[in-house]
Structure 1
Amino acid sequence: MYSAISGFATVFATFISGIIAANLLGVEGTGLVAFAVWLALIASQVVDGGTSLCVGRFTADLHGQGDKAAAYSLSGRLARRLLLYNAMGIAAFAVFYFADPGTATDSLRRLFGETDGDAATNLVFFVALLTFTQSFATFGMAHYRGSQDFVTPAAVSFVSMVAQIVCVYLGAFLFHVPGAIAGYIAGQILLTVAGAKLMTRNGTVTAELISETRTYGRYSWAANLCNTFVWSRIEILFLQSFWGYREVGLFSVALALSAIASQGPLLLTGAFLPMLAEKHGQKDRQGLQMAFASGTRFLAIAAFPACFGMAAIVPTLVQLLYGPSFAPAIPAATIIATAAAFSITTVIGTHLVNALARSDVIFVTSLIGAALSIAGGFLLIPHYGLLGAAISRTATQLAMIGIGLWFITTRLRFSYPFAALLRILLAALVASLAAFVVVTLVPGFHGLVLAILGAAFVYALCLRFFGAVDPQDIAVAHRLIAALPPRFAAMANILLSFIDPSSAPGRIVTPRP
């Protein structure tokens, strides 16, 4: 739950920042901000060098082995390695810029669509600063999760959320696009400090562990770079190149609406990688299978209704939050949100593969996904624009899902809960259809509220009617709910008992075949 709070703060800050930019800067201004933030995200993955995945995975593994001293020393070593990678990135850009300043300035002007070379250079400065803060913020979050400390990042993320929203608003209002980007930087400061202070840690790290982290880091870094073509909005680059910032702005809205639906369920997965890595360190194969299957089912229960429901209410949301000028984003948002429902359910599988240190496989599959994404970018986006970007993204991700399922079930030989997922899918489809009918009959804000409430009620009914929730998951949920305040725990237990009348708090059940 603390991990979910931390993730929610990040997602909510990004979502509200996008709405602020849309209302203060217009479609093209929103596109330019989205492009700059995307560039920083890509650059931060380049300079990361695989350190974030290493600190998350190996710290958890070492804690599982009871070697906290090695975990302490390793986090400091990896933090200093990240600083070195950032310095190398700055040096590479300095060489590019000062080797031929005139050509470099022209290139930057074309990249950002600016007629003023100084304005383009200023944007690069903000992007570089956001890259640095983003890389250390990601590293710090991964370290805390690997150390099983979820309270600290939750508190820091909440404060950072408030700082980002306030600073993006003030920056966009006073200084337009550069000010909005500076607001994103302000939101990363505390998280950056949390990651950077790990550089002071010293201690002995065995040569074997250093070698293992380097190998894992290389593969995971290469896999992340390839994954930028599949999961990290590479379509923005093609839209900016072939169409312009208007389409980038519209696409960023489509992605934001999909993210607010899909990221909600994903917030519950932050603890899975360190937990699975810890079980791997304990050589608990049965525990890995149970955590993988149950986690996948729980994720589907949250993801399917959230994403399909978002697809149903997208037209109303776009009008209410962004205004009529963003209406062309509706078809793309519907497609992306629908596809996200399926991609989210594979996240626990990805954590499983990472926990087993099979970053080599992730790299190979990511390379395939990168090739598919580039092909789609050149074949679809130049001709179909925004709709082509949505179709390209969806097709690539669905292909990656198929490859991942094949590897987990046939090579790793873990059982995938297909039957349970199908029952959950049917329940979510009926609920989303109910939401669509409501917003069609009752437009505006009131229809939106009625659609959400009605879909939630229909979904609970369908979960019960289809027997979609495994009794073992109900029992686990009852135990988790016991940690809530009594009044909330009582209401949650009533809901669970409605979904599965045979369940009760604390009851021991046999898992469904």
Structure 2
Amino acid sequence: MLDTGRAPGANAALGEPARHTLAEDTAWSAAASVSSLVGRLVAGIIIARRLGPEGTGQLAYLVWMADFVGTLSGLGLQNTMTRFLADVQGRGAVELTSSLARWILVRFLGLSVVGAAALAIAGAEAKEGHETLSLLCLYFLAQGIGSLYLAHLAGRQRFDISAKLNLGTSCLLVAGVLAGTWTGGVRGALAGYLAAALLPACLSLTLLRGRACTRAVGPLLRKRVWSYAVNTWLAAIVSALVWSRVEIFFIKRYWGDGDVAMFTVGLSLAGMAAQGPALLCGALMPHFAARAGAKDMDSVARTYAQATRLLALMLFPICLGVAAVTPALLPLLYGASFTPAVPSAMVLVAFSVLGVATVGSSLVYGLERSQFIAVSGLLGAALSVSACFLAIPIWGFWGAAWTRSAVQCTMIGMGFWYIARRLGFAVPFAALGRTLLAALVSAALAYFATAGSPSSWSIAVSAGIMTVCYGVIVRQMGLLSLSDVNALERLFAKMPGFFARASRSALVWIARAS
């Protein structure tokens, strides 16, 4: 994750290569994703407290419809944009990137119109009101087109621009949702989502300017792009059934909006826990693609192993720690009316440790092996849908939490097997196992610290206890090396001086380095 080799990027005008290290790209990517994550979390809390379980569940179902139709109609072009722009730059053909970006965007716009029509039909069948349906279709178009621009920035490795853009859209989202829920209920909240999506959508349309066509996209490249896009599209569809929120459809059908809300707040809490460390992986896929394009596979292997270990060191304690304090944290954030969601939320948050496979997913996509994800995902999709049919009508969102976790464990196991056996990269299983043990012991202490008197104070105390305990265990087990400290230090370089120095001191102590 933190190889020191230079990765090609682009200048502020997105024209010529810029010199960014992977650590710099990773730091900016994390900043971009943190802005988006915090914005969605705050917006979700506002929605839950203003609309209650029923309104929250209704809005969650509408947004899920838009996201799922977007997956079906997008043909994998967003991921394709990122992968091939990075690949083209890695081969030194920087002048081709603008032409390729425009070529992909034109085709994506046509598919988006088809998707909006399909969403309108689906919404009409679900008996949604005319105003709500109109807002939903507009949000669908803006969200999809805007996400393609973010994919374009990732492919050009301009994560600094992504960070600033995501900060702006997050502020718009929070302000829009706050105003919308105050004046218009569910429709107002949906309008807030639309307002936040408009800025990146407008920027995406600027890629259509004729100046971009400085070099034609040749037939060989078009063939590679379409092949990758179709495989990525199939992978995205099955991923939506395994990793996204397909359970919402079944909970809505068999139980209603209130139960949808109970499940979605658990997913939101799990996302909050898992996304923080996983945000550091945003720069990996284009980095792997660029290094593969430059035939530097040794760098790819080193980066994969180190990134997986470091992600686990951060992800495991956060996920298990948040799961341990969920009985106190969830009602504090979303309100007492969401207390019934606590048990299922604990399951979802605990199993979000599976996000450690994010590095492997970036590796597979970066090496243009998306066909494996498409094929293996068919099994996961079949398992997921079958489990939903069997469990959710009986156990509701509690059954959904367990079936989701079980299917995802199966998929992660298949992914590790493919990386180790087919791609020939070493998966650091021993380090992952020891890190998981350290996190489990620390999380157990956090749970008992909040069990007696759940409150904001007990959460803060338990977090401190767990942090110290985890640091001591990691030190005693020798899970952090000096090279890891140096890699993490490059990530913290953009932090204020005091925090950067304090972070390095703590990491050096844990690594037993002087």
Cα distance in 1 for partners of 2:406, 2:119 equals 34
> Which position in structure 2 is the counterpart of 1:396?
407
Higher mean C-alpha deviation, range 24-33 or range 136-145: 136-145
Cα distance in 2 for partners of 1:258, 1:147 equals 30
> Which position in structure 2 is the counterpart of 1:291?
303
> Which position in structure 2 is the counterpart of 1:43?
69
CA 1:91/1:166 → structure 2, altered by over 3 Å: closer, same or farther?
closer
Deviations 1:435-472 (A, max 9, x none): 11111134211111111122111111111011112443
Q: Where does structure 1 lack aligned partners over 5 or more consecutive residues?
A: 98-103, 113-119, 505-513
Cα distance in 1 for partners of 2:493, 2:334 equals 40
Q: Displacement of 1:226 after TM fit?
A: 1.3
> Which position in structure 2 is the counterpart of 1:170?
179
Q: Displacement of 1:354 after TM fit?
A: 0.5
Q: Displacement of 1:482 after TM fit?
A: 4.6
Is 1:62 matched with 2:83? no
Q: Displacement of 1:476 after TM fit?
A: 2.1
Deviations 1:132-151 (A, max 9, x none): 11212221111111111111
> Which position in structure 1 is the counterpart of 2:359?
348
Q: Displacement of 1:93 after TM fit?
A: 5.8
Higher mean C-alpha deviation, range 25-34 or range 127-136: 127-136
Amino acid at match of 2:433: L
Q: Is the 8 A contact 1:423 1:467 kept in 2?
A: no
Deviations 1:315-337 (A, max 9, x none): 11122112221111111111111
Is 1:158 matched with 2:167? yes
Q: Is the 8 A contact 2:119 2:137 kept in 1?
A: no
Amino acid at match of 1:320: L
> Which position in structure 2 is the counterpart of 1:509?
none
Cα distance in 1 for partners of 2:502, 2:463 equals 19
> Which position in structure 1 is the counterpart of 2:153?
144
- The one of 453, 463, 467 equivalent to 2:478 is 467
> Which position in structure 1 is the counterpart of 2:445?
434
Cα distance in 2 for partners of 1:419, 1:384 equals 36
Amino acid at match of 1:196: L
Cα distance in 1 for partners of 2:60, 2:396 equals 17
Deviations 1:65-107 (A, max 9, x none): 111111121011111111111122245567x59xxxxxx84x2
- The one of 359, 363, 366 equivalent to 2:374 is 363
> Which position in structure 1 is the counterpart of 2:32?
6
Q: Match of 1:346, SS?
A: helix
Higher mean C-alpha deviation, range 468-477 or range 211-220: 468-477
> Which position in structure 1 is the counterpart of 2:17?
none
CA 1:480/1:4 → structure 2, altered by over 3 Å: closer, same or farther?
closer
> Which position in structure 1 is the counterpart of 2:323?
311
Cα distance in 2 for partners of 1:392, 1:128 equals 31
> Which position in structure 2 is the counterpart of 1:248?
260
Calculate the TM-score normalised by the size of structure 1: 0.92
Cα distance in 1 for partners of 2:488, 2:496 equals 15
Q: Match of 1:233, SS?
A: coil
Q: Displacement of 1:475 after TM fit?
A: 3.1
- The one of 428, 446, 451 equivalent to 2:462 is 451
Deviations 1:275-324 (A, max 9, x none): 01001101111111011111111111111011101110111112211222
Is 1:216 matched with 2:234? no
- The one of 78, 97, 108 equivalent to 2:126 is 108
Q: Is the 8 A contact 2:66 2:119 kept in 1?
A: no
> Which position in structure 1 is the counterpart of 2:238?
226
Q: Is the 8 A contact 1:164 1:183 kept in 2?
A: yes
Cα distance in 2 for partners of 1:268, 1:194 equals 25
Cα distance in 2 for partners of 1:194, 1:460 equals 44
Q: Is the 8 A contact 1:254 1:332 kept in 2?
A: yes
Q: Displacement of 1:383 after TM fit?
A: 0.5
Cα distance in 2 for partners of 1:398, 1:136 equals 32
- The one of 423, 428, 432 equivalent to 2:434 is 423
CA 1:138/1:465 → structure 2, altered by over 3 Å: closer, same or farther?
same
Q: Displacement of 1:274 after TM fit?
A: 0.5
- The one of 196, 200, 209 equivalent to 2:205 is 196
CA 1:467/1:256 → structure 2, altered by over 3 Å: closer, same or farther?
same
How many residue pairs were aligned? 485
Higher mean C-alpha deviation, range 227-236 or range 84-93: 84-93
Q: Is the 8 A contact 2:482 2:508 kept in 1?
A: no
Is 1:496 matched with 2:507? yes
Cα distance in 2 for partners of 1:274, 1:42 equals 25
Q: Match of 1:28, SS?
A: helix
Amino acid at match of 1:11: L
Calculate the TM-score normalised by the size of structure 2: 0.92
Is 1:238 matched with 2:250? yes
Q: Is the 8 A contact 2:274 2:315 kept in 1?
A: yes
Q: Is the 8 A contact 1:38 1:233 kept in 2?
A: yes
Q: Displacement of 1:477 after TM fit?
A: 2.4
Q: Displacement of 1:228 after TM fit?
A: 0.8
Q: Displacement of 1:266 after TM fit?
A: 1.4
Q: Displacement of 1:488 after TM fit?
A: 2.7
Cα distance in 2 for partners of 1:238, 1:320 equals 28
CA 1:235/1:92 → structure 2, altered by over 3 Å: closer, same or farther?
closer
Deviations 1:470-502 (A, max 9, x none): 443223224444554433332122111110123
Q: Match of 2:249, SS?
A: helix
Q: Where does structure 2 lack aligned partners over 5 or more consecutive residues?
A: 1-26
- The one of 282, 289, 294 equivalent to 1:277 is 289
Cα distance in 2 for partners of 1:443, 1:91 equals 48
> Which position in structure 2 is the counterpart of 1:507?
none
